């Protein structure tokens, strides 16, 4: 067909009366849009998970648990421990209004492959996400708790992260964490460290990185191991709303935020924390060798982490 003939046919079609097109009923349109949205969300989830075998197996409040075959029996108890830790330390708070997502995958050394996904609703495209390989399936709960804790610390703002530096894993058992902190406190040789043990709260505030020194040549300060214990002591003393009070005090001095979390004056918080730690000292004789070894191991791990790349990275 010549170009001229094609042009005439085009004009003829334009001049023809348009046929009536029936509108799609609103309910049908809504159903179609809903199905499309569901498919898009499923596609997005599968892309984020990278494992098409993951299926939702449980919901608890705003939390959704998904797991691949072979890991579902272990996933439920791991979620239970995460829920308990979340309630205890953060009063059920989420790291973002957009929710969050944690993905755990089996490490290459594992005999079987599996994926665990915990999502906090609404789990939008802007929600913080974190992923980690797990060396052993029995470490699922610890990994979930640690990654969630990292997200929460990050959500509190740069002030808390800068002060904590390299916080201890949130899954570390209470007794072990407190003995580690006690050992670091009572063995400190700096002038202000000895002053804190002796009961001078201004020195305690300095060695915790909360206030300037009160004396010349105060010596060194306590590191992230002791600071993490102080943060968790403030949260535990403050009860369920402690985390909300802490984040509600930002931006501002970290000491004021911690005091708000504990719902105590700053010196009262320092005194309660100090007394609780020193009560753990052995009545007589040296500290247990396993405590010293564990403290040295954690200190070495934190130093290596700092040398390898500084602050922990969160997604």
Task: In whole angstroms, give the CA distance from residue 51 to residue 10.
Answer: 51
> Measuring CA to CA, which residue among 190, 273, 260, 293 is closest to residue 229?
273
pLDDT of residue 42: 43
Task: In whole angstroms, give the CA distance from residue 203 to residue 196.
Answer: 5
DSSP line for 44-70? HHHHHH--TT-EEEEEETTEEEEE-TT
In degrees to the nearest 10, what's the CA dihedral of 231, 232, 238, 240?
130
Task: In whole angstroms, give the CA distance from residue 243 to residue 277.
Answer: 22
At residue 194, does pLDDT exceed 50? Answer: yes
Band (pLDDT 50/70/90 cuts) for residue 48 is very low
- Percent of the chain whose pLDDT exceeds 90: 62
Give me the mean pLDDT over the 278-302 stretch.
Answer: 63
Bridge partners (DSSP) of residue 146 are: none
pLDDT of residue 112: 78
The H or E element spanning position 101 is: strand 100-106
Check: pTM over 0.85? Answer yes or no: no
At residue 121, does pLDDT exceed 60? Answer: yes
Task: In whole angstroms, give the CA distance from residue 276 to residue 229.
Answer: 11
Band (pLDDT 50/70/90 cuts) for residue 196 is very high
Higher per-residue pLDDT: 71 or 129? 129
- Residue 161 near residue 190 (C-beta atoms within 8 A): no
> Measuring CA to CA, which residue among 124, 105, 102 is closest to residue 113?
105
Mean of the per-residue pLDDT values of the chain:
82
Exposure of 272 by Cβ count < 10 A (0-12 exposed, 13-18 middle, 19+ buried)? middle
Q: What is the pLDDT of residues 16-33, one digit of tens each?
A: 344 444 445 555 555 555
């Amino acid at each position: 067909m010549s170009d001229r003939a094609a042009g005439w046919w085009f004009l003829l079609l334009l001049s023809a009366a348009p046929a009536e097109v029936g509108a799609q009923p609103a309910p049908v349109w809504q159903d179609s849009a809903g199905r499309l949205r569901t498919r898009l969300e499923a596609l997005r989830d599968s892309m984020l998970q990278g494992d098409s075998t993951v299926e939702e197996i449980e919901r608890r409040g705003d939390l959704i648990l998904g797991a691949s075959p072979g890991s579902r029996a272990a996933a439920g108890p791991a979620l239970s421990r995460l829920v308990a830790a979340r309630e205890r330390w953060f009063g059920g708070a989420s790291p973002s209004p957009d929710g969050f997502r944690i993905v755990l995958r089996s490490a290459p050394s594992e005999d079987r492959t599996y994926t665990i996904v915990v999502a906090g609703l609404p789990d939008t495209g802007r929600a913080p996400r974190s992923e980690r390989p797990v060396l052993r399936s029995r470490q699922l709960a610890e990994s979930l708790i640690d990654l969630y804790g990292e997200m929460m610390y990050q959500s509190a703002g740069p002030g808390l992260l800068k002060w904590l530096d390299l916080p201890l894993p949130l899954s570390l058992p209470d007794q072990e964490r407190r003995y580690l902190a006690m050992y670091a406190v009572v063995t400190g040789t700096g002038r202000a460290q000895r002053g804190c043990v002796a009961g001078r709260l201004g020195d305690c505030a300095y060695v915790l990185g909360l206030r300037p020194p009160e004396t010349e040549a105060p010596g060194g300060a306590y590191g992230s191991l002791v600071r993490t214990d102080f943060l968790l002591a403030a949260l535990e003393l403050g009860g369920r709303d402690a985390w909300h009070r802490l984040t509600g005090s930002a931006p501002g001095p970290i000491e004021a935020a911690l005091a708000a979390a504990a719902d105590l004056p700053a010196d009262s918080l320092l005194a309660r924390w100090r007394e609780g730690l020193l009560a753990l000292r052995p009545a007589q004789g040296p500290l247990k060798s396993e405590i010293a070894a564990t403290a040295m191991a954690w200190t070495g791990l934190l130093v290596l982490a700092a040398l390898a790349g500084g602050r922990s990275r969160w997604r």
